[in-house]
Amino acid sequence: FKNVGGHQGFFLSGIRPAWFMVFRERLRVHPQLCDGSIAAFTVLHNVNCNHGFIYVTSQGFLKICQLPSGLTYDNYWPVHKMPLKCTPHQVTYFAEKNLYPLIVSYPVNKPLNQILSSTADQESGNQIDNDNLSSDDMQRTYTVDEFEVRILEPEKSGGPWQTKATIPMQSSENALTVRMVTLLNTTTKENETLLAIGTAYVQGEDVAARGRVLLYTLGRSDNPQNLVSEVYSKELKGAISAVASLQGHLLIAAGPKIILHKWTGTELNGVAFFDAPPLHVVSLNIVKNFILLGDVHKSIYFLSWKEQGAQLSLLAKDFGSLDCFSTEFLIDGSTLSLVVSDEQKNFQIFYYAPKVSESWKGQKLLSRAEFHIGAHVTKFLRLQMLPALSDRPSAAPAPDKTNRYALLFGTLDGSIGCIAPLDELTFRRLQSLQRKLVDAVPHVGGLNPRSFRQFQSNGKAHRPGPDNIVDCELLCHYEMLQLEEQLEIAHQIGTTRSQIISNLNDLSLGTSFL
């Protein structure tokens, strides 16, 4: 096509349709996953459909479409930028109403006397001595950050997103976490989906840390006045750094404590707590009745919740010191792994094996793999992998889901990556290929990819973990080698070129939620 939405290139139909667009003499590939296999495609341009296109799906549906105008396609993914005019901190998604609650902060100029009065310790009644400050000093303005939670709704036509509601925080109050939680109302015996916000009052090191937990209901989005209504607010000791829902209960990280609450419809009542030595919880993750807790300095803790007896018990922990940035569970069928990223730009994968002698009767989490990302990973998102073509016989219909999950992650330098599980045979084949490619592929800037991906401990004592991760950034270079080199390397590792390409395609298809 010469002009579809102002772009040129070609469209590849078939089982895995994709757009190939040309930008500045560079080809960008964007898969189209929404309608499955596509049988036919052509360009359409008339009064009713300006520079659009028509395609027919394999089910026999004919669709007349246009490309969304607000997207930039000259990237690895189509990108839609939204001006916020403030700093975003954390976002969550409410699928039921298609809303995105977002924590933002923006600078505000305030006079010094107003700042000093808000930082006075209310509990001990300390008053700040202002005698040594002149009136000019008191009237001088200083910049402080004000926080709020915005409820955003995407525009269906691809236009700018709309702010449906705003929840302002109090003076000196920072919103630390926002999460959609499903709680069981013990009065009505019904599940309620609420917006939970955890905050902290930042008033200097001389003031005891306090925070608030806030619960809101999100109503109909067509009435902005009634969209958000507060149903609960309570002040607690310590900063509320993480919240999560656990089998109808609300799990709150308040300072060094983890407290589990039940919801009565008007009150949160504590039913269990965990008081081991975490200093400051940076992330909470839940799978069934298992809890993964990441601490700012004390690495990760693996807990379980038992309804009978109402107790939170520690199953195992990592005994090393690790400055956690983010944590998440990695699920591969019946295998559960614990992933953590750290301050040295690594991530590690642990597992719980109480029957193995090295685990000290189950007290210690064992290392499954480790890898140097080269960037600070601040968020993992668990997504269900799609079935690959080789996972089923040719005559069998394609299952929609698999019992494998991949972790999508975002980093502080703006990059996005993915960790995905592999079966044993494919892993061994790709690991052998990786060892050959270290020598066969020219190194960027003379930097060895094998040494770069080794765990960086910054001088601390660290026992190397098993080498159980393959680097797909290196493996992707295999397809770019000359055909003779591809055949030679495949022969050296005892396989065929078509088998390697098939494995790489299956991995690409399994993670094509990207």
Sequence ranges of the domains in the chain: 9-65, 419-510
Q: In terms of pLDDT, which residue wins out, 155 or 113?
A: 155
Tokens 């799906």 identify what position? 57
Token couple for 80:
């839609």
Residue 56: pLDDT band with limits 50, 70, 90: very high
Query: To the nearest whole percent, how much of the chain has pLDDT over 70?
Result: 91
> How far, in Å, CA of 341 to CA of 408, rounded?
13
- Read off the pLDDT of each residue in 435-454 and give the average, rounded to a whole number: 91
What is the reported pLDDT for 133?
A: 64
Q: Is residue 381 pLDDT above 90, yes or no?
A: yes
| Per-residue pLDDT at 121 | 44
Q: Which two tokens stand for residue 74?
A: 């000259």
Judge whether 129 and 116 are in contact, CB under 8 Å: no
Structure confidence at residue 400 (pLDDT)? 59
Give the pLDDT score at 35. Answer: 87
Query: Which residues is 19 bridged to in the sheet?
Result: 11, 30
- Return the DSSP state at 450: H
Looking at residue 207, its pLDDT comes to 84
Whether residue 142 is predicted with pLDDT greater than 50 in this model: the reply is yes
Q: Does domain 419-510 have CATH number 3.10.20.30?
A: no
Residue 129 is predicted with a pLDDT of 55
Cβ proximity of 130 and 139 under 8 Å: no
At residue 122, the pLDDT reads 46
The pLDDT of residue 119: 62
The helix (run of H) or strand (run of E) holding residue 430 is helix 424-440
Checking if the pLDDT of 43 tops 90, the result is: yes
Comparing C-alpha atoms, which of 163, 159, 157 is closest to residue 86? 163
pLDDT digits (tens, 9 = 90+) for 461-486: 888 889 999 999 999 999 999 999 99
Rounded to 5 degrees, φ, ψ at 481 are -70, 160
3-class SS string, 161-217: CEEEEEEECCCCEEEEEEEEEEEEECCCCEEEEEEEEEEEECCCCCCCCEEEEEEEE
Name every residue whose Cβ is closer than 8 Å to that of residue 510 and which is 6 or more positions away in sequence. 385, 386, 387, 388, 402, 404, 406, 420
Provide the pLDDT confidence category of residue 331 given band limits of 50, 70 and 90: very high
Q: Is the pLDDT of residue 375 over 70?
A: yes
pLDDT at residue 394 greater than cutoff 70:
no
Q: How far apart are CA 29 and CA 34, in angstroms?
A: 16
